[in-house]
Amino acid sequence: MTSLQQRQNLIGAITEATTAGARQDQACAVLGLSPRTLQRWQARETLAEETGDRNVNTRPGMMTWTPPLP
- Nearest CA-CA partner of 43 in 54, 31, 58, 28: 58
Distance CA 14, CA 39 (A): 11
In the structure, what pLDDT confidence band is assigned to residue 62 with cuts at 50, 70 and 90? Answer: low
In a domain, 58, yes or no: no
In a domain, 59, yes or no: no
Q: pTM for this structure? A: 0.64
Task: Give the pLDDT confidence of 41-54 residue by residue, as tens digits.
Answer: 888 876 566 556 55
In a domain, 18, yes or no: yes
Q: Who has greater pLDDT, 8 or 2? A: 8
Residues 6+ apart with CB under 8 A from 17: 27, 30
In a domain, 69, yes or no: no
